[in-house]
Amino acid sequence: MLVFFLFCFLYKSRLSLQYDHEKISERHTGQYYTLPAAHIQKLFPHGLPPRFQLQIKTFNEGCVMVRPPALELISYLKKADYSKPPLRYILYGDVGTGKTMCLSHALHYCYTQGWLIVHISDAHLWVKNCKELLPSSSRPSRFDQPIQASQWLKNFKITNERFLSKVQLGYVWTKRERTEKGQPLGELVDQGVNRMKSSSDVVGAVLRELRLQAGGATEGEGAFKLAVAVDGLNALWGKTSLKKEDRTMCEPEELTLIHNVRKMMKNNWSGGAILTALSQTGSLFKPQSAYLPSELLGEEGFDNMEPFVPVSVSNYNEKEFESCYLYYLDRNWLQHSHSRSEEGKKELIFLSNKNPSILERLCAFL
């Protein structure tokens, strides 16, 4: 009976809770809210975990569960003072507990509030499996990754379309090419997308400009808040699996993209927030049991990121598990008749230990 009421409540609230972040508070923990399809297309061309993307495709909607870490993050964002240097938030937790999803939730909040989003979906992709590694055109000791950089610029363009015409800049960044002062950001981004060879430098320029201009104008047309979101933060300070031409290992600092992102991480600018999440799954040379910031970031990374606000993400608690289970039932995802019974539910709890990703994989074949 209780389950039935809870189910009705959840179902109703799932429909009614659109994406009004003002109204979402602690008492909505465990409930699902729908991400509008248009937002998903714009905001997350690359940001969501692949399994979640499959789920969106299957269920024809993207539903995210409201969880305490995300709520905590959003409350900090609401209360922060944006005239001061940005606060750095690190989401950490065990494998599969939902760090990327919480980050996405917070990012969605920022998007609805009209911030400019700089979202690096997985920094690990930049430190491994790179097919082309070119020596940098601007600086001799660095290496460029044209494919990754241009891909990222494309995604950036899709996400922040409305800002591209507004932001003005002027910058000289190669001996041969230069952008005049007063040209919109959009042109710079287009240039980077079209000319692959200098795309990494374009990325650096874009980031630098945004940093300078974020806290610049407090009112008027040029005002915007900058949200820098990095998933897989530990890739910036870890090791790479890329090799230089003389077969020695590449250090992360030698990659232009990584270098620029590291500069973003420093809080010497104002008018925004830095949201990051650690990730062990894509990390190189780290044991599977490591999940704390000190372990995954290493000494160098930890020193660089300090001070930061840690937000821990853990497995589902009872209420959240209940909600997830009912959601799957509602979408007819749990086909097996035994999974609808109490016994089946207990089995699911045991086998997944209320870990979100394992529960999802388990229910996939039920």
End-to-end Cα spacing for the chain? 24
Check residue 223 for interaction with another protein (CB under 8 A). Answer: no
Check residue 295 for interaction with another protein (CB under 8 A). Answer: no
Q: Which is nearer to another protein, 299 or 342 (CB)?
A: 342
Check residue 351 for interaction with another protein (CB under 8 A). Answer: yes
Q: Which is nearer to another protein, 289 or 294 (CB)?
A: 289
User: Which among 302, 321, 320, 300 has a CA at the least distance from the CA of 310?
Assistant: 302
Tokens of 115: 């911030």
In angstroms, give the least distance from the CB of 346 to another protein: 4
Count residues contacting another protein (CB under 8 A)? 12
> Could you give the CA distance from residue 136 to residue 283 in angstroms, rounded to a whole number?
25
Question: Which residue is associated with the tokens 């997308």?
Answer: 193
For the beta carbon of residue 253, count every other beta carbon within 10 angstroms. Answer: 14
Tokens of 271: 């008018």
Check residue 289 for interaction with another protein (CB under 8 A). Answer: yes
62-70, 121-129, 274-282, 351-359 -> range binding another protein (CB under 8 A): 351-359
Q: Which is nearer to another protein, 285 or 350 (CB)?
A: 350
- Could you say which of 98, 136, 355, 363 contacts another protein (CB under 8 A)? 355
The runs of H, that is alpha helices, within the chain are 2-16, 37-43, 50-59, 68-79, 99-112, 124-127, 146-159, 161-164, 185-194, 199-214, 256-265, 293-305, 318-330, 342-352, 356-364
In angstroms, give the least distance from the CB of 287 to another protein: 10
User: Which among 102, 91, 104 has a CA at the least distance from the CA of 276?
Assistant: 91
Q: Which is nearer to another protein, 212 or 364 (CB)?
A: 364
> Could you give the CA distance from residue 210 to residue 189 in angstroms, rounded to a whole number?
12
In angstroms, give the least distance from the CB of 94 to another protein: 8
- Could you say which of 6, 56, 196, 358 contacts another protein (CB under 8 A)? 358
Question: Which residue is associated with the tokens 């507990």?
Answer: 97
Which amino acid is it at 15?
L
Check residue 187 for interaction with another protein (CB under 8 A). Answer: no
Q: Going residue by residue from 310 to 349, which x/- string records binding to another protein, judged by CB under 8 A? A: ---------------------------------x--xx-x
CA atoms in the 13 A half-sphere facing the CB of 5: 2
Check residue 350 for interaction with another protein (CB under 8 A). Answer: yes
Check residue 288 for interaction with another protein (CB under 8 A). Answer: yes
Sign of CA dihedral 26, 29, 33, 35: positive
In angstroms, give the least distance from the CB of 7 to another protein: 21
Check residue 51 for interaction with another protein (CB under 8 A). Answer: no
Which amino acid is it at 266?
K
64-72, 172-180, 192-200, 352-360 -> range binding another protein (CB under 8 A): 352-360
Q: Which is nearer to another protein, 56 or 95 (CB)?
A: 95
- Give residues in contact with another protein (CB under 8 A): 288-289, 343, 346-347, 349-351, 353, 355, 358, 362
